[in-house]
A and B are shown apart, each in its own frame.
Chain A
Amino acid sequence: MTMTINDSTYTTETAKTKRRLYMELENCIGCRSCLAACTQCGGHEQRNRNYVYDVNPLVNRQTMPLMCLHCVDPACARSCPAQAIQIHETGAVLSALVEKCIGCQNCTIACPYGIPKFDEEENLMYKCDLCIDRTKDDIPPMCASVCPSNTLQWLTEEEIAEKQNRHDLDNEKWVTSMPYLEGETNVKVNLPGILQGTVKLF
């Protein structure tokens, strides 16, 4: 992708190579491909770890995906007494290590978005690990690989910055973290156009 970026903070080498999961929420058409793809990821044992919600089910058909946002200071890992939740060097917050998780479920209570799932039978927590065996080699996570509506994308920081330029309305309502999230996250979220005071043209 060739483009010129004015903002000097984004011209570093890592900005060109480091990719992140990026979500454009209102694109979601509710097909649940991301859920199906998640079940097929290595180590997920046929169970999906992400969610798709009806935004206002009695009124319209809008849906939005929700998954672990891979917090920079993850509440789940902070609250785990067994140190079972490790943070990968890419910033991905991994699922519980099977031999360490003692099944207390603190993480499920701590996560501000209600992401970690718990298996009572196996006494084990499992959560989105950003398909770490893929993303550590810069292969997009399963969900972003299959999303047909570009709701979930795997983009460099440079590309995300360019999106920001395109959507920036100078009303401080563009994307990500604060104030619509509880803390800095590694996954970037573009809030729906309604909130930004604009309607997107497709």
Chain B
Amino acid sequence: MEQVTSKQPINGSNKKHQNNINNAFASHYAKSMFIAISGLAILTFIGTRMFTHVDLNLYGYMVGTIVFLGGFFYRFIAWGERPPTKIMIKKGIKLLFRKSTPKTSVDHLATYKFIWNRGIYRWTQHVMIGWGCLLACAVTFPLVFSWMYFTMEENGMYTIVLFGMDLMVVPADGAIAFLSYNALNISAIMVIIGVCMALYRRLKNMQARAEQQLFYDFLPLYLLLFISITGLLLTVINVFLHGKGHYVMSLIHQFSVIVTLIYLPFGKLAHIPFRPLSVFARNYREHYGEKEMKECKVCGTEFVSTEQSNDVINVLGTNNIEFNMNDGFNLAELCLPCRRKYRIARFSGSPTHQVPVKEANQNAKG
């Protein structure tokens, strides 16, 4: 392998880095866990007016949440220590206050524009599941930690209490009240529709079926279905069966939620907490792209920001991968077509990358 004198600061601090991981892991983990649980406790303390309004039926969820936090921090810290992730997080935080951040965040995290471009069916399915889950969490967790609850001080009027403050008083048979106590039913129906669409696509479409794995792709769908159906059954029991079997069903429902929370940091659903990084990535590309673009060392086309080209070279360096060529460049400094032609040149011995002819017909369209 040819390793020419390097023009880039390649090597990086491999050894120092290793030490960091070993020392930092335990303490990082303990610190994050401690801060998160203290935060939850303080919010709960305030929310419950000094623990006077705790709903003990919801105790199981509390344990589930704390186990979830444990798993989540474990995954997040292990992940954040990888060199490329570290760079993306660090620079992403620095660039968080770009003007375009709100728009990018909405596109990526709320309206899922990029999924729309992957297909309307997928988009509908994702909106149903995504927003169904978000809505359910937004209602459930404040209730679990008693950050929010309802009281009826005068007949026919509900007071919604948020963090110990009276948020508003609504008539018990009004629209807001109706939406509030049906929020979980609505979200359950949304999730059921979305999951059914996803399952249908996976079972009908042979192409999609070939790629699926039970634990990675199907389990999260079944878990969401399990939660939604048991949740809806609770309502059915209350409305039609006068609460018969409510206790057993509520235990089953709690169980389904807790299992899902434990599974969440490790399976496909783990993309939910990690996804905001896509906003970081977009900011990173936009910001450094405006600053300075890298010109291809062969054809001169600007193809990536100088910053990213250097970052990638450094990250590969920390993994002991170096692509410095005898011809005086690093492979990460060639645009993609030139990099491919350069390889053909290495295979054939004729300097394909030097021939100023555009690559011919690469998309199988006749």
Return the contact of B340 from the options A66, A98, A106 (Cβ within 8 A).
A66
Q: How far is the CA of A82 from the CA of B86 in the complex (A)?
A: 10
Q: Is B181 an interface residue (CB 8 A)?
A: no
CB–CB A110/B316 < 8 A:
yes
- Report the separation of the CA atoms of residues A180 and B315 in the bound assembly, to the nearest whole angstrom: 23
B360: which A residues are within 8 A, CB to CB?
54, 57
With A32-B364, A57-B357, A113-B339 in contact, is A180–B114 under 8 Å at CB?
no
Evaluate contact between B278 and A102: CB separation under 8 angstroms: yes
Q: Which residues in window 335-366 of B have CB below 8 A to A?
A: 336-341, 343-344, 346-350, 352, 355, 357, 359-364
Contact B340 A113 (CB under 8 A): yes
Q: Which residue of B lies closest to A55 (CB)?
A: B348
Whether, in the assembled complex, B2 has its beta carbon less than 8 Å from a beta carbon of chain A, the answer is yes
Digit string of A50-68 for contact with B (CB within 8 Å is 1, else 0)?
0111111111001010100
Would B285 and A105 count as touching, CB distance under 8 A?
Answer: yes
Considering the complex, give the chain B residue whose CB is closest to the CB of A52.
B362
State the Cβ distance, A186 to closest chain B Cβ, in Å: 16
Is the C-beta of A48 less than 8 angstroms from some C-beta in chain B? yes
Q: Give the A interface residue count (CB, 8 A).
A: 61
Question: Closest residue to A47 on the B side, CB-wise?
Answer: B363
Is A148 at the interface (CB under 8 A from chain B)?
no
Does A172 have its Cβ within 8 Å of any Cβ on chain B?
no
Q: Decide if A195 is an interface residue (CB 8 Å cutoff).
A: yes
Residues of A contacting B319 with CB < 8 Å?
73, 78
Which B residues lie within 8 Å of A98 (CB)? 118
Q: How far is the CA of A25 from the CA of B344 in the complex (A)?
A: 10
Q: Decide if A121 is an interface residue (CB 8 Å cutoff).
A: yes
For B78, give the chain A residue with the smallest CB separation.
A83
- A121: chain B residues at CB < 8 Å are 114, 117
B350 contacts A35, CB within 8 Å? no
Residues of A within 8 Å of B208, CB to CB, are: 43
Q: Which of A56, A75, A124 contacts B118 (CB 8 A)?
A: A124
Interface size class of B (residues with CB under 8 A): 35 or more
Q: If A57-B355, A109-B308, A114-B336 touch, does A104 touch B281 (CB 8 Å cutoff)?
A: yes
Query: Which B residues between 269 and 289 are near A, CB-CB below 8 angstroms?
Result: 271, 274-275, 277-278, 280-282, 284-285
> Are B281 and A194 closer than 8 Å at their CB atoms?
no
Which residues of B lie under 8 Å from residue A147 when comparing CB positions? none
Closest chain B CB from A195 CB (angstroms):
6
Question: Which chain A residues border B343 with CB–CB below 8 Å?
Answer: 66, 112-114
CA distance A99 to B308 in the complex (A): 23
Contact B344 A55 (CB under 8 A): yes
Give bound CA distance, A9 to B213, whole Å. Answer: 35
B267 → chain A closest CB, angstroms: 10
Distance of B198 from chain A, by nearest CB (Å)? 12
Q: Assuming A103-B278, A121-B117, is B321 touching A73 (CB within 8 A)?
A: yes
Q: Is the CB of A102 within 8 A of B350?
A: no
Q: Are A43 and B211 in contact (CB under 8 A)?
A: yes
Q: Is the CB of A103 within 8 A of B282?
A: yes
| Residue of A with least CB distance to B354 | A56
Does any Cβ of A come within 8 Å of B332's Cβ? Answer: yes
Knowing A35-B364, A53-B344 touch, does A179 contact B114 (C-beta < 8 A)? no
A selection of 30 A-B contacts at a CB cut-off of 8 Å is A42-B207, A43-B208, A47-B363, A48-B362, A52-B362, A53-B340, A54-B352, A55-B344, A56-B348, A56-B352, A73-B319, A73-B321, A75-B321, A78-B316, A80-B84, A82-B85, A83-B82, A103-B281, A105-B304, A109-B308, A109-B332, A111-B339, A114-B334, A114-B336, A114-B338, A114-B340, A114-B343, A180-B346, A182-B331, A183-B1
